[in-house]
Amino acid sequence: MSGLLAGKRVLVTGVLMESSIAFHAARLAQEQGAEVVLTGYGRLSLVERIAKRLPEPPPVIELDVQDQAQLDSLAERVRERLGADATLDGIVHSIAFAPQDAMGGGFLDTGWPSVATAVEVSAYSLKALAVACLPLIGERGAALVGIDFDAQLAWPAYDWMGVAKAALEATSRYLARDLGGRGIRCNLVAAGPVRTTAAKSIPGFDLFREVWEQRAPLGWDVTDSEPAARGVVGLLSDWFPKTTGEIVHVDGGVHAIGA
């Protein structure tokens, strides 16, 4: 099979609905020749149903990134599904969550438990996932790609999720430092706002849409996840062999444009 990811195996987290960036990353990865395995949390039956809409329905493995036992057993469970000698060439981190009181304009009132949850699930989990997958990385190394939302600025209503994304960006840089010797590249795709299931939980999402409508020189469609997914697949491929610790913006150019 030909394609950018021909002969590669890729683990994709965060596929919950067909609108998600992770879903389209999985679809494009398959179309580019990769064998894909998904992880899901909570509503596994929903993930399995969505997985059947991919070109080749992949196996689905349960993974709660706050459950150390599940992280510790991830490599073993992947090999149960893909084969005893299976290795991974790519890992897609598309996991984020913040309690409702951590977003929406009450930044000064949010307590530490909610902040801790947002940072653990949305940022620390990148490190946790990388370490869990280390036994699956072969001699040729791998690419770890996370989904980001640019954390250079303070955004309306994004609050502690914005702080968590800043932590995600820093975590990616430190992973790039510590995993480079194993041939593992760690990069992020900073996507523009996409109307996904996760976006529905962000108060004031329409404010983001308005910013992108006004400032994106290339234009932006909040219903189209494919541009960001293409960025993910590009970073998973061998076309970026010496790129790590990078944040690739797929946002129509908004990050570069002032008010």
CB contact at 8 A, 115 and 35: no
Query: Kindly report the CA angle at 172 between 75 and 251, in degrees rounded to 5?
Result: 115
Compute CA 131 distance to the chain's CA centroid, rounded to the nearest angstrom. Answer: 16
From 127, 158, 174, 242, the catalytic residue:
158
From 52, 127, 165, 200, the catalytic residue:
165
Question: Does the annotation mark 127 as catalytic?
Answer: no
Distance CA 218, CA 249 (A): 12
**Which residues are paired to 248 by β-bridges?**
189
Sign of CA dihedral 229, 38, 131, 152: positive
Distance CA 236, CA 28 (A): 11
Question: Does the annotation mark 242 as catalytic?
Answer: no
Which H, E and C letters describe 60-106, residue by residue? EEECCCCCHHHHHCHHHHHHHHHCCCCCECEEEECCCCCCHHHCCCC
Active site residues: 158, 165
